């Protein structure tokens, strides 16, 4: 698989890069961003944090707004930031902002017209990590994080793949998509009406069934306009308490759904992941 470098910018003595490649899984050209600390030029391999962005975002939102590079460089962690959906003229879309391009929901679609391209789950769990690990000086020590729709993706991907990720975190995640308007719309479109299939992409359901006890940190702003109707963190909290799962869920007064919130607490999340990514038993 051939990578094409789109841009490379020096940042905190490291490199913020953007690449394109042909995805066989998604059957289209895809783009992702990657931050490589300066240490990555040495002959050693570094752990990776995958960041999944939210509705309407691309690979550029996090890299340009979160300010994560400084701490990633200090800790020696590579950041991989994929796009949020397949792209291109041949890829189906919808006039709504919360379905289609920019709203892939990190699932494997089974319904027409989405199934031919919208296989974001397989892209993120298999194809992209294989490409990254074959190309860059990274190890197989992986963590995953995300925001909103991307928080949903990070939680579900981590919970569905025991042993693959060392830690998971999220900002303002869609915790119970089976029970919120965003999730109901997307899961019905991509997976069809059978709600037993939706359960495979619902963090609250998956956590209640999980046998692995993965470190999880969730940050949620109390002034988030989507908190009650769309995000439903208390459903995830209740599932964790019932299952005896050690979930760390923090509410922050005054913070909303924006990247100002993410930028405020991204250092905490990176240090949280570093405690696990950089610790070798």
Domain layout of the chain by residue ranges = 3-278
Q: Which residues of 81-91 are buried (b: 16+ CB within 10 A; e: fewer)?
A: bbbbbbbeeeb
Assigned CATH class of 3-278: alpha beta
8 A C-beta contact, residue 15 and residue 8: yes
* pTM, to two decimals: 0.96
Q: What is the pLDDT of residues 200-232, one digit of tens each?
A: 999 999 999 999 999 999 999 999 999 999 999
Q: What is the mean pLDDT of residues 63-73?
A: 97
Enter the DSSP assignment of 115: G
Separation of alpha carbons 48 and 142, rounded Å: 5
Separation of alpha carbons 128 and 82, rounded Å: 8
Residue 82 φ/ψ region, left for φ over 0, alpha for ψ in the -120 to 50 degree band, beta for the rest: beta
Q: What is the mean pLDDT of residues 140-154?
A: 98
pLDDT greater than 70 at residue 40: no
Q: What is the mean pLDDT of residues 181-185?
A: 98
pLDDT greater than 80 at residue 280: no
- Residue 42 confidence class, pLDDT cut points 50, 70, 90: low
pLDDT greater than 80 at residue 165: yes
The pLDDT, as a whole number, for residue 128 is 98
Catalytic positions, written as ranges: 148, 224, 257
pLDDT greater than 90 at residue 41: no
Q: Is 7 helix (H, G, I), strand (E, B) or coil?
A: strand
Residue 166 φ/ψ region, left for φ over 0, alpha for ψ in the -120 to 50 degree band, beta for the rest: alpha
- Residue 43 confidence class, pLDDT cut points 50, 70, 90: low
The pLDDT, as a whole number, for residue 160 is 98
Q: What is the pLDDT of residues 231-249, one digit of tens each?
A: 999 999 999 999 999 999 9
Which neighbouring-strand residues pair with 119?
108
The pLDDT, as a whole number, for residue 29 is 98
- Phi and psi for 270 in degrees, rounded to 5? -65, -40
Q: What is the mean pLDDT of residues 97-110?
A: 98
- Phi and psi for 55 in degrees, rounded to 5? -55, 135
């Amino acid at each position: 698989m051939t990578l094409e470098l789109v841009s490379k910018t020096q940042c905190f003595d490291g490199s913020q890069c953007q690449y394109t490649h042909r995805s066989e899984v998604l059957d289209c050209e895809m783009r992702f961003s990657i931050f490589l600390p300066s240490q990555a030029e040495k002959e050693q391999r570094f752990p990776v944090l995958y960041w999944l962005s939210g509705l309407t975002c691309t690979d550029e939102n996090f890299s340009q707004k979160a300010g994560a590079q400084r701490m990633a460089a200090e800790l020696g962690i590579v950041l991989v930031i994929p796009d949020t959906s397949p792209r291109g003229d041949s890829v189906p879309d919808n006039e709504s902002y919360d379905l289609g391009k920019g709203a892939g929901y990190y699932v494997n679609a089974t319904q027409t017209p989405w199934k031919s391209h919208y296989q974001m789950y397989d892209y993120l769990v298999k194809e992209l990590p294989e490409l990254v690990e074959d190309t860059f000086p990274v190890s197989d020590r992986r963590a995953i994080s995300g925001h909103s729709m991307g928080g949903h993706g990070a939680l579900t991907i981590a919970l569905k793949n025991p042993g693959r990720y060392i830690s998971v975190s999220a900002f303002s995640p869609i915790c119970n998509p089976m029970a919120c308007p965003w999730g109901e719309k997307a899961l019905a479109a991509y997976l069809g009406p059978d709600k037993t299939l939706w359960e495979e992409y619902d963090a609250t359901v998956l956590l209640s069934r999980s046998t692995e006890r993965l470190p999880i940190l969730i940050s949620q702003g109390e002034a988030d306009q989507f908190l009650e109707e769309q995000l439903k963190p208390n459903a995830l909290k209740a599932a964790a308490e019932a299952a005896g799962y050690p979930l760390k869920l923090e509410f922050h007064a005054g913070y909303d759904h924006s990247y100002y919130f993410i930028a405020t607490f991204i250092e905490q999340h990176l240090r949280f992941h570093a405690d696990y990514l950089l610790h070798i038993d």
